[in-house]
Amino acid sequence: MFQFQHIGHLYALGLLPLMVVLYLSVIYWRRTKLRKMGDERLIGEQIRGNIPGRNTFKFILMAIALTTIIIGWANLRMGDKAEKTQRKGIDVIVALDVSKSMLATDIQPDRLTRAKQLIMRLTDKLQNDRLALIVFAGRPYLQVPLTIDYSAVKMLLSNVSPDMIPTQGTVIGEAVDMAMKSFTQNERKYKSLIIISDGEDHDENAIAKTKEAADAGVIVHTIGIGSPQGAPLLDPVTKQYKIDDDGNQVISKLNEEELKNIAMAGHGSYSLLQNTDEVASKIIGDIEAMEQKDLGMVSYVDYTSYFQYFLVIGFLMLLAEWLLPGTKKTKNSINGTIA
């Protein structure tokens, strides 16, 4: 059965009636001008190379070209065969640290931006897995519940900033607890939690909560953002670097030890974010190595597209219209006017 892949593009065919109206208007205007100059037939005979109907033919070629190009743009195609495959996957929750320390620039352009880029790359590599997003600082918030709509995750991720959570800190333990409440409760496997943080503020409950999650079948991976050397923090309001009570410049440092211990407690892996694509591929590899749950059958249809034929026809019509010579004008030898 034939169908259009982008059927909405066919609305562009609405341009054809407008072209016809415009062309008829030009013809009417031209004939009106000729009548004012004298006998229309006689004037037409004095125009060099004038062939009655040539302009109309050129217009028809243009109309055919536009029609076929639009149809090609909509991609007429036909389904050849349908295949059914078993869909498998797991539930993945990403917990993103959005504390103000994530604005440090020891990793360019800053820690939070690089973390967002990593999540974007992860969503590009995920296939059948359900994905959720938690943001946390002094408190955790479920930003996107478990879904297969990765575009929704990307859209909401773009608006994430430290300003959305007034309470500052790095409560990884509470983020783990919220993730546990967001997972399906009747399964003890097929779950993975990815924590992306600089781990700067020590959370005493993080290890204990992670062990509870691991006991419930959740694999916890951690990704460190930043550097052990750290970087000063710029206050976005005053545009000055922050200082402590003793007048010393505040340096935000990556706490790798804490994040490694959390990953160990969660039977997962720790990664330091340096190359975004490499870390994303490593995490996806860890997820694919897990036991996948059966998500049912899904049908895929192979299509043969015919857009190229319509584009070729459209190009040939445009070429023919361009090669067809127009009318050349010459001076009237009798009255000296331009015909």
CA angle centred on 32, ends 26 and 36, rounded to 5°: 145
What share of the chain in percent tops pLDDT 70? 84
The Cα 42–Cα 30 span in angstroms is 15
For 296, the enclosing helix (H) or strand (E) is strand 293-305
pLDDT in tens, 201-214: 767 889 999 999 99
Does 206 fall in a domain? yes
Task: Flag whether pLDDT at 256 surpasses 90.
Answer: yes
Same structural domain for residues 146 and 203?
yes
Same structural domain for residues 279 and 319?
no
DSSP 126: -
Question: What pLDDT is attached to residue 89?
Answer: 84
Same structural domain for residues 218 and 114?
yes
Does 336 fall in a domain? no
**Least reliable range by pLDDT among 23-37, 98-112, 125-139, 304-318:** 23-37
Same structural domain for residues 236 and 109?
yes
Same structural domain for residues 162 and 259?
yes
Does 37 fall in a domain? yes
For the chain, the domain total comes to 2
Same structural domain for residues 67 and 138?
no
Same structural domain for residues 49 and 120?
no
Enter the pTM of the model: 0.64
Does 332 fall in a domain? no
| Contact (CB, 8 A) for 277 and 114 | no
CA-closest candidate to residue 107, choices 222, 224, 195: 224
Question: What pLDDT is attached to residue 269?
Answer: 96
Same structural domain for residues 214 and 102?
yes
Non-local (6+) Cβ contacts of 330 within 8 A are 46, 47, 48, 339
**Least reliable range by pLDDT among 46-50, 66-70, 241-245:** 46-50
Does 81 fall in a domain? no
Does 223 fall in a domain? yes
Q: Any idea what the CATH number is for the domain that residue 110 is in? A: 3.40.50.410
Task: Flag whether pLDDT at 223 surpasses 60.
Answer: yes
Does 207 fall in a domain? yes
Same structural domain for residues 135 and 60?
no
pLDDT tier for residue 274 given thresholds of 50, 70 and 90: very high
pLDDT tier for residue 332 given thresholds of 50, 70 and 90: very low
Does 194 fall in a domain? yes
The Cα 337–Cα 173 span in angstroms is 92
What average pLDDT does the structure give for the chain? 85
Same structural domain for residues 180 and 132?
yes
Domain of residue 40: give its range: 2-75+306-323
Same structural domain for residues 124 and 245?
yes
**CA torsion through residues 44, 50, 54, 59, sign:** negative
Same structural domain for residues 224 and 246?
yes
